[in-house]
Amino acid sequence: MFKFFRKKPKVYSKIENHIFGIITELLKVSSTDINVDELGGKYYLSNEEQHFKVTILSNDYVIRLTNTRDSVAEKYDKVFVEDVLKAVKEEKHRRMELVYDSITNSIEKMAERLHNTLIESNELENQKVRQLETKITKEKGKKVNY
């Protein structure tokens, strides 16, 4: 009865499948740079090792693929471009999480080292104070004795 409410599986054309495959493979490679111009709605993927670049213009639903010999830009279906952008944004977010985790770990280690250094320094100061108090007490004891 409510079959029309079911979401139909996404069916891409052969070229869209091919482009989506290229982009997801580029995203898997850590040497692929991801740059984003949110205000302009532009997303850039570039892999200098493979001499390959992808530009996604989200406002116009255009994807440009560029290699050393060719550059092809085509307008695609809105749903397809949004799915591509979703994959790009997820990878960008994942990479940012890795950087964030790395920075957080570095800060935590630095804080731990600082904490340990402060504890050691405080213990040394306490030892010096105890030695000084012991020395003063001994000197007072010598003066008090008749």
pLDDT tens per residue, range 80-106 = 999 999 999 999 999 999 888 889 999
Q: Which helix (H) or strand (E) holds 33?
A: strand 33-37
Q: How far apart are CA 92 and CA 39, in angstroms?
A: 16
Query: What is the residue extent of each domain of the chain?
Result: 10-146
- For the record, the structure tokens of 104 come out as 């957080």
Using one digit for the tens of pLDDT, what is the confidence trace for 4-59?
565 666 778 899 999 999 999 999 998 999 999 988 899 999 999 989 999 999 99
Residue 146 above 70 pLDDT? Answer: no
Q: How far apart are CA 81 and CA 22, in angstroms?
A: 14
- pTM for the whole thing? 0.66
Q: DSSP string covering 91-111, please? A: HHHHHHHHHHHHHHHHHHHHH
Q: Is 92 exposed, middle or buried (0-12, 13-18, 19+ CB in 10 A)?
A: middle
